[in-house]
Amino acid sequence: MSSYYTADELLVAYLDNQLDPQQRRSLEQRLADEPALADRLSLLERSNLPFKQAFAPLLDEAPAQRLQARWPLATPAPQRGVSRRALIAAAVGFLALGVAGDRAWLQASQPEDNWRGLVAQYMALYTPETLAGFDSSPALLASQLQYTGERLGIALPAPKLALNGAELKNARVLAYDDRRIAQLTWLDARFGPLALCIIQQSGKPESAQSERRQGMNVVYWADGSHSFMLIGHNPAAEMTALAERLQGSLSV
């Protein structure tokens, strides 16, 4: 990954777990020293949206010249043309007020336990092309899984997350009503994007249950310290089998 970033590009890459360890450490030092940068990160993090995925279909048709004119890069980018990171950052800035408004509406209209509905809304935007551009090298995945697991208080070893017919593509931390959501995404060779989402939630363990949201099959359960949700276009019976495997693999 190029080391060149504008501020918003860097923050989006940080939220998307796309920085290497050295870049992450450098940014975290800057966040400690620069309150304005930390405030900007807080704004993006609280917006609840996975920016790279949410904007990917729009960026394919984005008015690049208009975005570049409105948010010119500080210095010429070394690569040819405008980078997808630059367009993402520009789109984030352009839509910031709308994102904040959407978040306020979601907070007012969604019950506390309906985080699954929010997940289903943005998962409905995913296509195989959404996940095609991820760097899913073992080293980067291991770093993402460790970071995501630490933020959610759960071990996420890559070998226990292997699913037949699906490639693990990335792990990230999202936000919902100031609560963290871990999102692990796979690309199933037959049925497309598949995601396991996790929140910290104490309470009684709950056995797996099934439902449909946004035209996708969902299996959800809880282990007493976390709630889990597996969502995808796989048939219901296959989703149940995959959920059973993950439930067994991630049990303490």
Is the pLDDT reported for residue 2 higher than 80? no
228-252: average pLDDT: 94
User: What pLDDT was estimated at residue 105?
Assistant: 36
pTM, whole model, 2 decimals?
A: 0.60
Nearest by Cα to 245 from 190, 186, 175:
186
User: What pLDDT was estimated at residue 199?
Assistant: 94
What distance in Å separates the CA atoms of residue 215 and residue 231, rounded to the nearest whole number? 10
Domain regions of the chain by residue span:
7-109, 115-250
User: What pLDDT was estimated at residue 99?
Assistant: 39
User: What pLDDT was estimated at residue 157?
Assistant: 95
Query: Binning pLDDT at 50, 70 and 90, where does residue 57 land?
Result: very low
User: What pLDDT was estimated at residue 235?
Assistant: 97
User: What pLDDT was estimated at residue 110?
Assistant: 42
153-191 per-position pLDDT tens digit: 999 999 999 999 999 999 999 877 678 899 999 999 999
What is the DSSP track for 99-144? HHHHHHHHHHHS-TTTHHHHHHHHHTT--HHHHHT----HHHHHHH
Is the pLDDT reported for residue 246 higher than 60? yes
Type of residue numbered 166 = A
Asked if 103 contacts 46 with a C-beta cutoff of 8 angstroms, the reply is yes
Is the pLDDT reported for residue 206 higher than 50? yes
- The vertex-224 CA angle with 157 and 46, nearest 5°, equals 70
Beta bridge partners of 100: none
242-246: average pLDDT: 97
Asked if 192 contacts 127 with a C-beta cutoff of 8 angstroms, the reply is yes
Nearest by Cα to 139 from 154, 152, 156, 158:
158
Asked if 194 contacts 216 with a C-beta cutoff of 8 angstroms, the reply is no
Helix (H, G, I), strand (E, B) or coil at 194: strand
Is the pLDDT reported for residue 204 higher than 70? yes
What is the DSSP track for 36-104? HHHHHHHHHHHT---HHHHHHHHHTT--HHHHHHHS--SS--SSSS--HHHHHHHHHHHTHHHHHHHHH
Helix (H, G, I), strand (E, B) or coil at 172: strand
Q: Which two tokens stand for residue 251?
A: 């049990």
Helix (H, G, I), strand (E, B) or coil at 206: strand
Q: What is residue 241's DSSP assignment?
A: H
114-159 per-position pLDDT tens digit: 789 888 888 888 889 888 877 889 999 999 999 999 999 999 999 9
Nearest by Cα to 177 from 47, 43, 44, 84:
47
78-109 per-position pLDDT tens digit: 443 444 444 444 444 433 333 333 343 334 34
Hey, what CATH topology would domain 115-250 get?
Phosphorylase Kinase; domain 1 (3.30.200)
Cα Rg, the chain, nearest whole Å: 18
Asked if 171 contacts 184 with a C-beta cutoff of 8 angstroms, the reply is yes
